[in-house]
Structure 1
Amino acid sequence: MVDDEDDDTPAASTPPSAKALHELTLLAGQHPGPERTAAAWRLVTSAAGNPDAHAVLDFAREAELVLPCDHTDSTAPNLTWTNPLDGSEMVWVPPGKFVYGTNNQTAACAGFSLGRFPVTNEQFARFVAETGYVPDLDHPDNESFLSHWQGGAPAKAQLRHPVTHLSLFDALAYARWAGATLPTEWLWEKAARGTDGRTYPWGESSPTAKLAQVAQGATCAVGKFSRVRSPYGCEDLVGNVSEWCLPEPAGAEVGAFPADHYPAYPYPAADIPVQTVVRGACFLRHSAKTARSSHRRRLSVARRNRWVGFRLAVLLPVRPA
């Protein structure tokens, strides 16, 4: 028997993040290294939805297990960092105002980080291998899940292509594993348009095959258009694949962070579609209008097809140490 006074397991009545704080305390006493970095980041991001998440964030900052993202020097290069859980390169989007919509309205939001690229086949294959992920048997479109893979694996030539044939549910499962979430459509648009309200992520020039993967027959490897970036440094926001965005409750303020990073939705019945917004023109698009950063399209959350992928968002003002 173990005496109660020797048992350091948090009691059921303790705050939700007590266990995370205990484990962070242990990590703070360890030597820095990749394993400590990944473990600390998983604890911090996993606690993000707790009502006492601020306590975890404050402790992690004080123990230098995470570092702040904010910088006030407007001439500094865009801050980037690597997610230690899945290898995604993340770009910091500072807080402030942004232009959105076809009427160029203005809103504001807090700072967040967005993936430089959409999640790739290679990354999703690692997720499946490490977690054994399979879709729920009740999902209405399971025959389309990763249907472009052969023998349960992506083709070698497509490892760096954006992963597709995924529903919103599949994208959220990956995001949770990676300690992230998906952007709302307004966060996506801020990352694409910045503060000057540009029409396309790169400026005002109409999309061509030199600027984005549009009017093509298939996806391409991420990074192909590395000289064509959004104001903050994101790539492939237009072209390659359209991207799932996190559904927002009715009446949500433009630019507000979602209350739930992993909203649960019932699988839609055939006669009652449940939809969310996808953003960004895909490789099939050739119209300058549909390639605009303000363009939005609604899609059933259960759909899996070859032209929709996703990228990660981290809604915290910190990065791994």
Structure 2
Amino acid sequence: MKVRRSTIDNKIRIGLIIAFIVGLVLLSVSLYRAMQPKFDNDLVRIPAGEFIMGSDSGRSDERPKHLVYLDTFEIDRYELTNAQYRHFLQVTERTVPRYWSGDEYPPGLENYPVVGVSWDDADAYCKWVGMRLPTEAEWEKACRGTDGRVYPWGDEWDANRANVIVSSVTRSWDEAWTLLATPNAMPVLKPVGSYPTGASPYGVMDMAGNASEWIFDWYNWRDYTGLPDHNPIVTAPPWNHVVRGSAWFDLYGDVEWAKQQSQCSARNSSHETQDPRMGFRCVRTIE
């Protein structure tokens, strides 16, 4: 009887140990899933092929107009929203945008593009979801398609197709942050996808207006001469990263500036700091 009872006790102990191990595994899986990105992401596939990049009538850094070949890739249809970015912050504890209150964005702005995100944080988010920031060439192709159009919607400027405030609403960054934190004060940013008639040929939204967007490339202030015509990318770091797309406001506040900045070929750059105009979207390579 003693031997039999000892055998039973050992089996019970082994069973408890196995149950404990299984419980730990299930808990680990649950925690892992809780840390993964939770959002509905709408991706647009951009097929491989050539497109017209640059402009012969734009600023010197947009010249010359030339053909570029890109492999297939997918890009976010919309700029990243506050709600999507909030989950990332909860898991990673990276820098919170300046206009948020603690770790919360202003009420009612869940579907508005997140702005005030540094290049480093934008890059980290895209990697976190298994993607990356777009190259200049990828962004421009997604914006203008293959027909060389000037704006996402065509060749003629139309202020009704993009959230670009052509009269200056502010002359300082501090005022801009205040406006973002008090959305009812006046219409500044808009929910992503609010201008469907401003979509690109591929259906990518808000590539003109709302938020300017961080790009993976470092900014080459010279023209495009000498860059490869197959999947070009500038990786040598001078000082700034490229920024593409016009924004909900600028410090100039005039129509001609808004028109120029809304062109698909327009280029800008910025330091890796928080900027009330700056948002982003991600892409992924299709093998």
TM-score (norm 2): 0.68
- 1:200-211 paired onto structure 2 within 5 Å: 200-208=151-159, 210-211=160-161
Q: Which residue of 1 is the match for residue 112 of structure 2?
A: 161
Q: Which residue of 1 is the match for residue 70 of structure 2?
A: 109
| 2:212 maps to 1:212 | no
1:132 deviation in Å?
Answer: 3.2
| 2:76 maps to 1:123 | no
- Structure having the larger proportion of residues in helix: 2
- Separation in 1 of the partners of 2:38 and 2:284? 12
| 2:206 maps to 1:256 | no
Q: Which residue of 2 is the match for residue 92 of structure 1?
A: 45
- 1:1-321 paired onto structure 2 within 5 Å: 86-103=39-56, 104-129=65-90, 131-135=91-95, 145-208=96-159, 210-215=160-165, 217=169, 218-248=188-218, 253-256=228-231, 274-284=239-249, 286=255, 287-300=258-271, 302-317=272-287
CA distances 1:72-96 after superposition (whole Å, capped 9, x unpaired): xxxxxxxxxxxx8542211000000
Aligned in 2, Cα 1:258/1:205: closer, same or farther, shift over 3 Å? closer
Aligned in 2, Cα 1:249/1:284: closer, same or farther, shift over 3 Å? closer
Q: Which moved more, 1:250-259 or 1:278-287?
A: 250-259
Residue identity (%): 31
Aligned in 2, Cα 1:308/1:288: closer, same or farther, shift over 3 Å? same
- Separation in 1 of the partners of 2:286 and 2:234? 13
Q: Which residue of 2 is the match for residue 32 of structure 1?
A: none
Report the 3-state secondary structure (helix = DSSP H, G, I; strand = E; otherwise coil) of the residue aligned with 1:247. Answer: strand
Q: Which residue of 1 is the match for residue 62 of structure 2?
A: none
Q: Amino acid of the residue matched to residue 90 of structure 1?
A: L
Report the 3-state secondary structure (helix = DSSP H, G, I; strand = E; otherwise coil) of the residue aligned with 1:227. Answer: helix
Q: Which moved more, 1:149-158 or 1:166-175?
A: 149-158
Q: Which residue of 2 is the match for residue 20 of structure 1?
A: none
Q: Which moved more, 1:120-129 or 1:100-109?
A: 100-109
- Asked if structure 2 preserves the Cα contact closer than 8 Å seen for 1:186 and 1:254, the reply is no
1:276 deviation in Å?
Answer: 1.0
Aligned in 2, Cα 1:303/1:150: closer, same or farther, shift over 3 Å? same
Q: Which residue of 2 is the match for residue 71 of structure 1?
A: none
Report the 3-state secondary structure (helix = DSSP H, G, I; strand = E; otherwise coil) of the residue aligned with 1:203. Answer: coil
Aligned in 2, Cα 1:156/1:257: closer, same or farther, shift over 3 Å? farther
- Asked if structure 1 preserves the Cα contact closer than 8 Å seen for 2:219 and 2:240, the reply is no
- Asked if structure 1 preserves the Cα contact closer than 8 Å seen for 2:217 and 2:234, the reply is no
Which of these two proteins has the greater Rg computed from alpha carbons?
2
CA distances 1:156-213 after superposition (whole Å, capped 9, x unpaired): 22111111111110001111111100101111001111110000000012031x2000
Which runs of 5 or more residues in structure 1 are unaligned?
1-34, 43-83, 136-144, 266-272
> What do you get for the CA RMSD once the two structures are aligned?
2.7
Aligned in 2, Cα 1:238/1:249: closer, same or farther, shift over 3 Å? closer
Aligned in 2, Cα 1:86/1:120: closer, same or farther, shift over 3 Å? same
Q: Amino acid of the residue matched to residue 294 of structure 1?
A: S
TM-score (norm 1): 0.62
1:257 deviation in Å?
Answer: 6.3
Report the 3-state secondary structure (helix = DSSP H, G, I; strand = E; otherwise coil) of the residue aligned with 1:113. Answer: strand
Q: Amino acid of the residue matched to residue 268 of structure 2?
A: R
- Asked if structure 2 preserves the Cα contact closer than 8 Å seen for 1:187 and 1:255, the reply is no
1:259 deviation in Å?
Answer: 10
* Aligned pairs, number: 216
1:253 deviation in Å?
Answer: 2.4
